[in-house]
Amino acid sequence: MFKLISEQSSFFLVTYVLNAMNNWAFKFIAPLVLYAETQSLQMMTVSYGLLFTPNIIAPPIINLIDGKLKKKIGLLGLNVMGGGLCVFGFFYFKQGFNVAAFFIMTFLLSTILTLFQTFIHSVMKDVLSEKIAIENMSRRLAFFDSLFPAMGPLIGAAFLSTFSYSAIFLIIAAVYGISMMSLGVMKISEDVSRVKGSFINRTARGFSLIKSSPFVNFLMKRFFLSNIALHGFQSVLTFYLIDSFNLSVLNVGFFFATSALGLVIGNRLGRVIYAHEINKWYVIASTGIVCALCLIITPLTSNVIIPCLAWCIVMLLSSINLIVFYTERQVNFRQAETASVIAASYVIIYSAIPLGSAVSYTLARYFNAGETLLILGGYLLLIGFYFLYLAFRKQKMLMKEMLSDS
């Protein structure tokens, strides 16, 4: 699937993958633990909010770290904090389950994981220098960031059926240890100068840079609005599968794991998009419409195979979207601006996630799970057509500008 890569690229990829695995495994284990302990859909949606809320507040903190600490030290420090927190969680929850303590643990670990993800994206060009290498690495990262959400439920279910949830914290801590060894041998350039300014100014600068780039701005708007529906949908989907199809937790894991097929196809298509310079405006707009149709069909069928195939297509489209997102925010800005841009981009797209959880929580109080999924799918369909209209309009404006300049 991927061509052979250099030694340093390998260390970068291994480090990223280990932390992404921790991130997504935990994000699916936590709701399953809460469901097992409380049997409550509302508690599951609250846990999703706590897992993803740090994605809003944590990324700008990178503007405090970047330029003040050596990048490798910053990454290692986050790994040490995450590993230490997991060791504490192992000993604490070994004594018994406490909902409030689990919520706090969920929030803190998710914050550390989000900080690491933001920081390591910002140092990619300090490890890789060539544009083609950056594009290829962006595609690889997008693949794994799509793979682990698909495999997370299966990993979580397998772990929970084999280990206690307290022991899982110890496993995550062990993975952190391997990550630190990989980081230790990775060479990160410390020569690139950073944009000077206060934390507030650098954070604001990231938003300003995104706004000034027409396509990246289009991406951020599209991802923000669609993520409200997608993550609201996902926070209810697990409950819906268990309730409507009587699936076991392990079978739910297999349901999500089958979508890995869509990720492989999406990765291939992402390569084609950049190799043949296909118009990315229309790609991003059209994927939203197709994704919405897949969401709508899920609660309208009594055969679990249809939702499974629909989710494969959703993951295929998500993989393409991530490839475009990761690549464009790397190649459209100078390295000195990358940390600010990446931090701002995560704030924008991830702020939709707790909103999605809040929307699904509210809908779940007045509608059943199937009706909630249908409403969220309908909303996403409207968003898809709106952005297809914006894509046509923007392309027309850009064409006029090109003709006037010539």
The answer on pLDDT for 212 being more than 60 is yes
CB 114 within 8 A of CB 50: no
pLDDT of residue 18: 93
Question: 48-57, 283-292, 305-314 — which is least confidently predicted?
Answer: 48-57
Mean pLDDT, range 207-224, rounded to an integer: 92
Kindly indicate the confidence band of residue 131, based on its pLDDT and cuts at 50, 70 and 90: confident
Which CATH architecture is the domain 7-405 placed in? Up-down Bundle (1.20)
Measured CA to CA, the distance from residue 163 to residue 93 in angstroms comes to 13
Residue 322 or residue 190, greater confidence: 322
Measured CA to CA, the distance from residue 239 to residue 247 in angstroms comes to 10
The answer on pLDDT for 2 being more than 70 is no
Kindly indicate the confidence band of residue 80, based on its pLDDT and cuts at 50, 70 and 90: very high
Global confidence as pTM: 0.75
What average pLDDT does the chain have?
A: 85
Kindly indicate the confidence band of residue 4, based on its pLDDT and cuts at 50, 70 and 90: very low
The answer on pLDDT for 176 being more than 50 is yes
pLDDT of residue 98: 83
pLDDT of residue 191: 61
DSSP 276: T
Residue 7 or residue 315, greater confidence: 315
pLDDT of residue 242: 86
The answer on pLDDT for 81 being more than 90 is yes
Please count the CA atoms within 13 angstroms of the CA of 242 that sit on its side-chain side.
Answer: 18
pLDDT of residue 274: 85
3-state secondary structure 300-359: HCCCCHHHHHHHHHHHHHHHHHHHHHHHHHHHCCCHHHHHHHHHHHHHHHHCHHHHHHHH
Query: Is residue 66 helix, strand or coil?
Result: strand
> Domain extents for the chain?
7-405
Residue indicated by tokens 């994605």:
55
Phi, psi of 66 (to 5 degrees): -60, 125
pLDDT of residue 196: 61
Percent of residues, the chain, with pLDDT higher than 70: 93
Percent of residues, the chain, with pLDDT higher than 90: 31
pLDDT of residue 296: 96
